[in-house]
């Protein structure tokens, strides 16, 4: 294992800003894995740490195939992580909306440019991503439909689901999108949580990455093959929304099967304590996403359901 500084900005008043990477193996740039880009992505950071620990042992045992280099970057935004702030600590900009970056631009543009210059030529790119709303997911691989996506390749991770979605204008400045444009096979990996550590889904993610690398003849690994991935379109999921704002209490969890009409959550008036809304399932399906914040706004998507096959 080789620990190296991927990008650095010198600071006058505090420790320098550094993006640290861990290299395994030697040879062509085969795989790059990126952990947290936002400062609240604790699960993403933790999962990367477990992957680094596993790859270090595998390298010592000679299980990384010759001619392959693997780079793991646990965090691209350590400053914000230090103060538990999701976006850049000074101006609240999102580094994952700055790719491929600009070396003469604002700070976050420079960080994106410096990092992307190092990682843009890898054959496979994997990012532990998080959602913009508070909640938990069923673990899955998510891909944007850029014309460069490869669904069959995504299935080789053995995650429960592969989710496809159409690109939107702001997606063109994300890491995943730019990796694909630079002809890297890019995958966003979602585990269950973001701001808290979920060891079980972290173990699943590490296992699925090693499964994928073994199938690409990059590492020697024999483990559980995982799931036969179900491919779903994000637009085909059913969003369940609140009508009222208040204290949110879920009655189901991610991965549960629900029947049409089943109570999924209740919303309580935060001042008077009366139940003001009962949220029921509009279809029979599987809970793919579930809101987990104790407060909910009106007209918020608090669940996403995958329709059960009849």
Give the domain CATH number at 243. Answer: 2.40.50.100
- The number of folded domains in the chain is 2
* Half-sphere exposure (Cβ direction) of 42: Cα atoms closer than 13 Å: 11
| pLDDT of 84 | 86
206 plus 263 within the same structural domain:
no
- Domain stop point among 233, 252, 275: 233
94 near 108, Cβ under 8 Å?
yes
Q: Where are the alpha helices (DSSP H) in the chain?
A: 42-60, 78-82, 107-119, 151-155, 175-181, 199-215
- Domain stop point among 173, 200, 233: 233
289 plus 190 within the same structural domain:
no
126 plus 148 within the same structural domain:
yes
Judge if pTM exceeds 0.75.
yes
52 plus 151 within the same structural domain:
yes
Give the structural domain span for 293: 237-307
217 plus 243 within the same structural domain:
no
Phi and psi, residue 237, nearest 5°: -75, 150
Nearest-5° Cα angle at 227, 225 to 228: 110
194 plus 251 within the same structural domain:
no
| pLDDT of 310 | 61
272 plus 301 within the same structural domain:
yes
272 plus 226 within the same structural domain:
no
Tell me which DSSP letter residue 40 carries.
T
127 plus 254 within the same structural domain:
no
| pLDDT of 15 | 85
209 plus 282 within the same structural domain:
no
Separation CA 251–CA 49 (nearest Å): 33
| pLDDT of 155 | 97
87 plus 208 within the same structural domain:
yes
| pLDDT of 89 | 86
Q: Please list the residues that pair with 135 across neighbouring strands.
A: 291
| pLDDT of 308 | 83
For every residue of 214-247, DSSP letters joined together read HHTTSB---------PEEEEGGGSEEEE-SS-EE
Per-residue pLDDT of the chain (310 residues; tens, 9 = 90+): 999 999 999 987 778 999 999 999 999 999 999 999 999 999 999 999 999 999 999 999 999 999 999 999 999 999 999 988 999 988 999 999 999 999 999 999 999 999 999 999 999 999 999 988 889 999 999 999 999 999 999 999 999 999 999 999 989 999 999 999 999 999 999 999 999 999 999 999 999 999 999 999 999 998 877 899 999 999 999 999 999 999 999 999 999 999 999 999 999 999 999 999 999 999 999 999 999 999 999 999 999 999 987 6
- Domain stop point among 185, 200, 233: 233
| pLDDT of 90 | 86
Separation CA 82–CA 69 (nearest Å): 29
Q: What is the CATH number of the domain that holds 38?
A: 3.40.630.10
163 plus 247 within the same structural domain:
no
């Amino acid at each position: 294992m080789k620990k190296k500084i991927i990008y650095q900005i010198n600071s006058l008043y505090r420790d320098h800003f550094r993006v640290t990477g861990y290299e395994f193996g030697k040879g062509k740039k085969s795989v790059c894995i990126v952990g947290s880009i936002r400062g609240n992505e604790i699960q993403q950071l933790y999962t990367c740490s477990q992957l680094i620990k596993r790859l270090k042992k595998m390298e010592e045992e000679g299980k990384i195939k010759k001619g392959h280099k693997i780079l793991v970057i646990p965090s691209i935004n350590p400053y914000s992580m230090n103060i538990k702030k999701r976006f850049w600590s000074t101006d609240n900009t999102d580094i994952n909306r700055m790719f491929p970056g600009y070396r003469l631009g604002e700070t976050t543009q420079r960080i994106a440019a410096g990092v992307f210059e190092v990682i843009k030529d890898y054959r496979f790119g994997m990012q532990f991503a998080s959602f913009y709303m508070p909640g938990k997911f069923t673990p899955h691989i998510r891909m944007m439909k850029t014309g460069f996506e490869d669904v069959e390749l995504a299935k080789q991770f053995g995650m429960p689901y592969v989710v496809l979605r159409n690109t939107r204008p702001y997606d063109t400045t994300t890491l995943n999108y730019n990796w694909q444009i630079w002809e890297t096979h890019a995958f966003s990996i979602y585990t269950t949580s973001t701001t808290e550590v979920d060891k079980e889904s972290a173990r699943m993610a590490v296992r699925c990455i090693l499964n994928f690398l073994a199938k690409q003849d990059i590492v020697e690994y024999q483990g559980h093959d995982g799931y036969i991935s179900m491919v779903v379109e994000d637009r085909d999921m059913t969003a369940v929304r609140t009508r009222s704002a208040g204290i949110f209490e879920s009655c189901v969890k991610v991965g549960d099967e629900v029947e049409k009409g089943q109570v999924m959550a209740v919303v309580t008036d935060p001042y008077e304590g009366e139940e003001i809304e009962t949220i029921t399932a509009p279809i029979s399906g599987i809970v793919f996403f579930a809101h987990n914040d104790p407060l909910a706004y009106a007209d918020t998507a608090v669940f996403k359901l995958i329709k059960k096959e009849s």
